[in-house]
Structure 1
Amino acid sequence: MGTFKKLSLSLIASTVFLTGCQQFTTPLGSAPTQMVEANNQFNLQGKIGVRTPQQSGSAFFRWVQEQQEFDIELSGMLGIGKTQISGKPGQVTLNSANTGLVTANTPEELLEQATGWKTPITNLVSWIQARPATSTAQIQKDENNRPTQFIENDWTVDLSYNEQATLPNKLILKQSLESGQENRITMIIQNR
């Protein structure tokens, strides 16, 4: 795999970081599209995998979120080494031995600059907490009223849970492409 493909996959995974009786619900009312959530505080460890029609790979991650500021550390990806991503409103930085320091205003801009891939990375903060990111999301729930699927922003997000847990331990994000193929991100949360 070429250096550019390795770098692209590294950046894709860097900035991102499933049943029973189910029903679809759609939020009612004319609330704003973006939902504002007050409690975005967590510390996660796990593994992330990325698969596109052109490439695939995986890495271990550690993600600390303090409201709107975050710090993500990736390791073990395609021999690229450790990658550090930090962000606060208006500034996101990625730093690794191979890329040096890369900056952007949002995680989405960082990913698009590096790879041309448009994804709602910011929505992942809500999805890993079993919340829709917008008021327009289609939501599928299980018999315990836990969300098992969100469809929003051209992505389908499937959530899986350990036994009676209220927060998911696995997320699969899928984006259908015009070619009939898909982009897929699998996130396994081992520790919260």
Structure 2
Amino acid sequence: MNTKFITLIFVSFLLPACENKRAPQATTEWDDPLWQANYKALKPIQTFALKGRIGISNPQDSFSSNFHWQQNGYKSFKFRMYGAFGNTYALMNSTPDWTTLETADERFFEGPNASALIAQTLGWKLPLNYLSDWIKGVPTGVGRDKIAINTDGTLQSLTYIEQSSAQQNKVFNVSYEKYLSSDNKQMPAKIRIIEGDNKLILSIRSWEI
């Protein structure tokens, strides 16, 4: 028999064996195709508005009101909390460079960091620097191994660790408990955020995208 023919047959048997030994690539929930489609649809949206109820509680205080969030571009938002008759409790205007806060008793505060400003003035530990994305179901600032995805490709939960050199790190656990349909997109309808003894619940009635 022709030695070249024998060699060709031998090599043809070796090739599939080599191919089968390739290690499969590791996949995570982040790689889920439904999640990827949902993420790519929501991430670019930088102008939107939503209304609903907000509830804030900690060992020293609790508060609830209506709220309106208006996103006006990258890290630029207006956040208003108000009563049943439209009276404003707090109004925050934030840009990437500066944040202002007005309260019901006509006090005025300002500073470069939205989360720090509301903590210093009202005592609420809210992750406002990330909420612009988290509120629409996009886990900005969160490691890919710190999220869970629903079977329909929407965000189920995320864990965010805020590094701090001055004190113990803060761990924010965010759960997306309900969704509603708006402009052919599934948008969060109820979000629960817990950091230690601090709790924030957003119940969203409507979205404008």
What is the TM-score normalised by the length of structure 2? 0.65
Contact 2:137 2:188 survives alignment (8 Å) = yes
Alpha-carbon distance in 2 for matches of 1:162, 1:88: 28
Alpha-carbon distance in 2 for matches of 1:111, 1:157: 19
**Residue 58 of structure 1 pairs with residue 64 of structure 2:** yes
RMSD: 2.4
- SS class of match (1:189): strand
2:160 corresponding residue in structure 1: 152
Per-residue deviation at 1:121?
1.6
Could you tell me the percent identity over the aligned residues? 22
- SS class of match (1:161): strand
In structure 2, relative to structure 1, the CA distance for the partners of 1:143 and 1:88 (3 Å cut) is: same
**Residue 76 of structure 1 pairs with residue 91 of structure 2:** no
- SS class of match (2:152): coil
Whichever structure has more helix as a proportion of its residues is: 2
Per-residue deviation at 1:86?
0.7
> Structure 1: which 5+ runs fail to align?
1-23, 28-36, 177-181
Contact 1:26 1:136 survives alignment (8 Å) = no
- SS class of match (2:188): coil
> Structure 2: which 5+ runs fail to align?
1-27, 32-42, 162-170
The equivalent position to 2:114 in structure 1, one of 97, 107, 120, is 107
1:34 corresponding residue in structure 2: none
Per-residue deviation at 1:112?
3.1
**Residue 92 of structure 1 pairs with residue 99 of structure 2:** yes
Q: Deviations over 1:129-185 (max 9, x none)?
A: 111022415111111121110111211100023466621101000112xxxxx2110
- SS class of match (1:109): helix
Alpha-carbon distance in 2 for matches of 1:38, 1:106: 23
Contact 1:49 1:57 survives alignment (8 Å) = yes
Q: How does 1:132-147 map to 2 (within 5 A)?
A: 132-137=139-144, 138-147=146-155
What is the TM-score normalised by the length of structure 1? 0.70
In structure 2, relative to structure 1, the CA distance for the partners of 1:116 and 1:190 (3 Å cut) is: closer
2:3 corresponding residue in structure 1: none
- SS class of match (1:166): strand
Q: Name which structure has the greater RCO, CA cutoff 8 Å, separation 6+.
A: 1
Contact 2:142 2:158 survives alignment (8 Å) = no
Q: Which residue identity does 1:157 align to in structure 2?
A: V
For the pair shown, the structure with the greater C-alpha radius of gyration is 2
In structure 2, relative to structure 1, the CA distance for the partners of 1:186 and 1:145 (3 Å cut) is: same
Q: How does 1:155-170 map to 2 (within 5 A)?
A: 155-162=172-179, 166-170=186-190
Q: How many correspondences in the alignment?
A: 153
Alpha-carbon distance in 2 for matches of 1:132, 1:162: 16
Q: Which residue identity does 2:56 align to in structure 1?
A: V
Contact 1:61 1:73 survives alignment (8 Å) = yes
The equivalent position to 2:193 in structure 1, one of 155, 173, 176, is 173
Alpha-carbon distance in 2 for matches of 1:163, 1:135: 23
1:17 corresponding residue in structure 2: none
2:14 corresponding residue in structure 1: none
